[in-house]
Structure 1
């Protein structure tokens, strides 16, 4: 993943910012938003957090509602997504705005610190296995020993049959649409579960939506 690639992707998402939330809500029957909140109740005690690819700030607002002390570094490669996220918090949680540092960067340019919480909601699916491996290594290095990794993403069921086939076909169409609209280069889901296990992460909680197509998982580092 190069700077040029990230910059192109960020500008690509700039083009769809105005309709992003509407499209996400309609196409998933609002399950994409709902799936991100599966384990929100676990996020009430952390002091520091990192949200990667936060988009228009939907999840950010929910975390600030849930946790009255957390300070969050909010990262997105799209300047327009950052603008919308700032606007959302100014309108919905103005007294919490000082607890958020908005950063318009690709994850490869981030100056990582130590966090109690790292969030990747519909973010890792933008990248190939190689870059997800790099990110997983960063997660391991920069997550506190008792910290949480919070991941929501598309999921392909382990079972065979029509549901697995239809999910694979649907994802191919989705990736094609994003390649046309945002210059996304990835063509298939990365093997996130396997990669995180290789970095000593274990899933402690998981919940599925749309017959298993969407999955929210909480991870901790195995001592």
Structure 2
């Protein structure tokens, strides 16, 4: 998050319980945020966790990227892209690209494929997660996307990437190149 501007408009898609808002405002207290969450329950939790001092700086939207209007200096999608099919991801990314200004930074963190032979335990964990989300949230995704391929089809250039947990989790920063 230290790459984000000190001031400006930030879009958070799929923010879950709101922990990302607290961390964002700890580092960048002057930002304005549009916070979009498809789950009404998660949206309510996020609103309750947000300190009163920052409530005027956040616009909460119950919905998806299709419900967002405007242009943003930064975009955050943590653990979001992996819950959509490849076709849904492509449509989503086209819409998100329209919301980005020139030089907008997009912070992404998600699960990634690392090779079944090297890390068989990751495949077991991923298949368990897919089953859990299929049962609990009716998410029918059965494999992770190739993020490099996904981003290469859109006007974003990767500036950096780090991996964690045996390379199963990655965090990357992309820049809009319009």
TM-score normalized by structure 1? 0.75
Q: Is 1:42 the counterpart of 2:10 in the alignment?
A: no
Gaps of 5+ in 1: 1-39
Q: CA deviation at 1:46?
A: 4.2
Shifted more, 124-133 versus 43-52: the winner is 43-52
In structure 2, the residue matched to 1:26 is: none
CA separation in 1, counterparts of 2:158 and 2:43? 30
Q: Is 1:126 the counterpart of 2:83 in the alignment?
A: yes
1:44 and 1:66 in contact (8 A); partners too: no
Q: What are the equivalent positions in structure 2 for 1:14-163 lying under 5 Å apart?
A: 40-89=1-50, 93-108=51-66, 110-157=67-114, 161-163=117-119
2:116 and 2:122 in contact (8 A); partners too: no
After TM superposition, which residue ranges in structure 1, 4 or more long, deviate above 3 angstroms? none
In structure 2, the residue matched to 1:37 is: none
In structure 2, the residue matched to 1:204 is: 159
Q: Name the one with the larger strand percent.
A: 2
Q: CA deviation at 1:170?
A: 1.7
1:148 and 1:218 in contact (8 A); partners too: yes
Gaps of 5+ in 2: none
CA separation in 2, counterparts of 1:200 and 1:55? 26
1:43 and 1:66 in contact (8 A); partners too: no
RMSD: 1.5
CA separation in 1, counterparts of 2:41 and 2:20? 17
In structure 2, the residue matched to 1:170 is: 125
2:74 and 2:104 in contact (8 A); partners too: yes
Q: Name the one with the larger helix percent.
A: 1
Q: CA deviation at 1:160?
A: 6.0
1:51 and 1:73 in contact (8 A); partners too: yes
CA separation in 1, counterparts of 2:87 and 2:7? 29
Query: Can you list the C-alpha shifts for 1:53-75, whole angstroms capped at 9, x where unaligned?
Result: 10110011111111122111111
Q: 1:46 to 1:187 in 2, by over 3 A?
A: farther
2:112 and 2:145 in contact (8 A); partners too: no
In structure 2, the residue matched to 1:215 is: 170
Aligned residues: 178
Q: CA deviation at 1:137?
A: 1.2
